[in-house]
């Protein structure tokens, strides 16, 4: 990305202020995705002991943080349609400046950046921007991706689609579009999501 684009559009050096500068729809989407992915990750830790798999005890914290800023790059798109596929890499580029505000350990900072950079990649290699496959997509990224898809489908204009159909459609894409473990955790954590986030604000 041209650094000139960055200068002038983002005029804050404070990470919280940056997040608060999101337009309201993007802010609410990011907030919901962060909550969904956090609950799914907590569930994974509790029932699948995923923290052992990832080698870190702060798995859900990383998932939450990465999800809260996963669409950061959209702030810098000059044309939301034409440049859409660039938003993950632009977001990761921008976030490098805020690394130290994000989280204390360098390894965890890297994991947050990966979440932003890779949240549209797919296990089958058909995602974007890099078209990498499951072997190169870290598991914490998969949690953000599935939570992102869930929010998009819940907020879709077509309100006739019920939640069971949404979950079924995500389930059918396990292993191809979404990480299988993340989908499994979403399905089993769904009741917790509804319980903890009972008052839906899907505007």
Q: What are the residues binding Fe ion (CB under 5 A)?
A: 71, 148
Cβ distance to Fe ion smaller for residue 45 or 186:
186
- DSSP character string of 104-141: SSHHHHHHHHHHHHHTT--TTS--SSS---GGGS-HHH
Which two three-digit tokens encode residue 24?
Answer: 């309201």
**Minimum distance from residue 67 beta carbon to Fe ion (Å):** 9
Cβ distance to Fe ion smaller for residue 45 or 69:
69
**Minimum distance from residue 126 beta carbon to Fe ion (Å):** 15
| Tokens 């839906």, residue located | 200
**Minimum distance from residue 84 beta carbon to Fe ion (Å):** 8
Cβ distance to Fe ion smaller for residue 60 or 148:
148
CA atoms within 13 A on the CB side of 97: 15
**Minimum distance from residue 187 beta carbon to Fe ion (Å):** 20
Cβ distance to Fe ion smaller for residue 19 or 45:
19
Q: Are the C-beta atoms of residues 183 and 166 closer than 8 Å to each other? A: no
CA distance 155 to 30: 13
């Amino acid at each position: 990305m041209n650094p000139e684009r960055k200068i002038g559009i983002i005029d804050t050096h404070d990470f919280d202020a940056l997040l608060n500068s999101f337009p309201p729809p993007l802010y609410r989407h990011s907030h919901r995705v962060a909550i969904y992915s956090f609950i799914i990750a907590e569930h994974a830790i509790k029932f699948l002991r995923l923290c052992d798999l990832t080698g870190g005890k702060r798995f859900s914290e990383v998932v939450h943080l990465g999800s809260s800023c996963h669409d950061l790059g959209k702030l810098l798109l000059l044309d939301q349609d034409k440049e859409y596929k660039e938003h993950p890499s632009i977001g990761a580029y921008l976030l490098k400046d805020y690394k130290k505000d994000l989280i204390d350990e360098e390894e965890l900072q890297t994991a947050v950046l990966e979440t932003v950079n890779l949240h549209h990649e797919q296990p089958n290699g058909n995602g974007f921007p890099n078209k990498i496959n499951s072997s190169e997509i870290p598991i914490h990224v998969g949690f953000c991706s599935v939570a992102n898809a869930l929010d998009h489908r819940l907020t879709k204009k077509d309100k006739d689609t019920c939640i069971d159909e949404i979950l079924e459609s995500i389930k059918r894409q396990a292993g191809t579009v979404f990480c299988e473990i993340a989908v499994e955790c979403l399905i089993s954590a769904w009741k917790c999501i509804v319980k903890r986030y009972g008052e839906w604000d899907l505007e």
